[in-house]
Amino acid sequence: MGTIKKILITLATLAHLPCIAQDTLLENITIVDVEHNQLLPGQFVLIHGATIGSITSKRPEGLAADTQTLNLANHYLVPGLFDMHVHLATDPSETDALPIVKKKLEILLKNGVTTVRDMAGDVRQLAYLARQASLGEIPSPDIHYSALIGGASFFDDPRTKVSSKGFSSGRAPWMLAVTPDSDFDLVVAEARGSGASGIKLYADLTAELASSVLNSANKLGFPVWGHAAVIPAMPQDLVSNNITSVSHAPLLAWASANDTPTSGKQRYDKVELNVSLPAFQQLLGKMAAKRIYLEPTLKVFEKRRPAAFANGVMVTKAAFEAGVPILVGTDLSADINRPAYVPVIDEMLLLHSHVGIPSNDVLMAATIHPARMLGIDHEVGEIKQGFRANLLVLDANPLEDLNNLKKVTVVFKNGKRID
């Protein structure tokens, strides 16, 4: 170890600062440049601290003496993956107790998922986990999470009760019921004050209520992530009021239906879908123009609701063709009994094989698009100098076959090697 580095480490220790980690050089690796849909072979990627220090086509000079070198000829480097729909804290007292959730997070990270978006749960647990994840105190993807807003009748749902224990139903700052009498600016401020980075618009909302929440959130520049229909409000109500992202592609099919569901319980019933209907195409055109993201969550419907799955596939295909930006999310997170498996890869495979989205665009939906949607695309989602080193090393080309995303050699999160 060099003298200067020794001194710096001593100073860092004295000042209770994090130690300066050893640099790592990834030699002769092929970068999958997702933004430009190309492979860059023979690259040298220097990981310095938490970030990518340099990317060069020759071995860099002036390396620190203790730099660890990994020769990765015939290996591929992709940005860490995002799963934009998980639930990590629905019931922290039971099914989502900390040891279980931490195990799931570790499985996600070891299989290459470096960022997740939680789509409603107990924010007290989510804030605790998100802090530990961002500081590297637990092996975990970074966690972004939402505060849920729904119509008053939705708060009979037992999930909302266990996610807000200690509060009366619909009154926790992260599980808020709204009525026509609500002060919507205050509701949105309360949701934001809970520490969430977006609102999840869930269910039992009229078009008027949904638009009131969206107007208040838009004024504050606070993102709103909704179900694609928050029945009785329909997809067109959300899109015309500038929602940020919509989840569950089968719900978008309601925009082509003649009737509307009479209750939220019918939301995944078979809808006669007509993707060429002008009104439906107009909706997709608006989503594309406004950059409103669609998160299809196909995997969760595949076996359980085949009719909804079939609609979801057609809706997603039409949306992709219309230029709607797609996000990869599962609504499934991980399974503690399957340490080598993450459903996010299955979701990506479905988007490719069933919907027909080219491999590189699928990768974009799991990296660059979610980073942009979350407003963190200046630091993650791509392999660039100065970006955080959230990286996945594979021993086969994912553009040839997305199944190769399962062939993980090593994962880096904030520059730290995850073994």
Name the residues that contact Zn ion, by CB under 5 A.
119, 331
Q: Which two tokens stand for residue 208?
A: 């008027």
Nearer to Zn ion, 23 or 347 (CB): 347
Closest to Zn ion by CB, 145 vs 222, is 145
For residue 260, the tally of other CB atoms under 10 A from its CB is 12
Q: How far is the CB of 172 from Zn ion (least distance, A)?
A: 18
Closest approach of Zn ion to the CB of residue 384, in Å: 31
CB nearer to Zn ion: pick between 24 and 333: 333
Least distance in angstroms from the C-beta of 343 to Zn ion: 13
Q: What phi and psi values does residue 392 have, to the nearest 5 degrees? A: -125, 120
Q: Which is closer to Zn ion, CB of 23 or CB of 331?
A: 331
Among residues 116 and 178, whose Cβ is nearest to Zn ion? 116
Going 313 to 316 to 322 to 327, the CA torsion angle's sign is: negative
Answer yes or no: are the C-beta atoms of 218 and 243 closer than 8 Å: no
| φ/ψ (deg, to 5) at 363 | -60, -40
CA distance 283 to 133: 38
Q: How far apart, in Å, do the first and last CA atoms of the chain sit? A: 24
Q: Smallest distance from the beta carbon of 332 to Zn ion, in angstroms?
A: 9
AA identity, residue 153? S
Output the CA angle 295-299-257, nearest 5 degrees.
60
CB of 370 to Zn ion, least distance (A): 16
The minimum distance between CB 213 and Zn ion, in angstroms, equals: 18
Which residues 6+ apart lie within 8 Å of 123 measured at CB?
89, 145, 147, 172, 173, 174, 194, 195, 196
> Between 32 and 315, whose beta carbon lies closer to Zn ion?
315
Residue 112 CB, shortest distance to Zn ion, in Å, is 21
Q: Please, which residue, 163 or 390, has the CB nearer to Zn ion?
A: 163
Residue nearest to Zn ion (CB): 331
Instruction: CB nearer to Zn ion: give 85 or 413.
Output: 85
**Least CB distance from residue 133 to Zn ion, whole Å?**
20
| CB 390, min distance to Zn ion, A | 24
Per-residue tokens: 199: 């609102």
- In this complex, which beta carbon is closest to Zn ion, that of residue 119 or of residue 238? 119
Report the alpha-carbon distance of residue 22 to residue 19 in Å, rounded. Answer: 9
CB 269, min distance to Zn ion, A: 18
Instruction: Compute the least distance from the CB of residue 347 to Zn ion, in Å.
Output: 13
Q: Which is nearer to Zn ion, 159 or 290 (CB)?
A: 159
CB nearer to Zn ion: pick between 333 and 367: 333
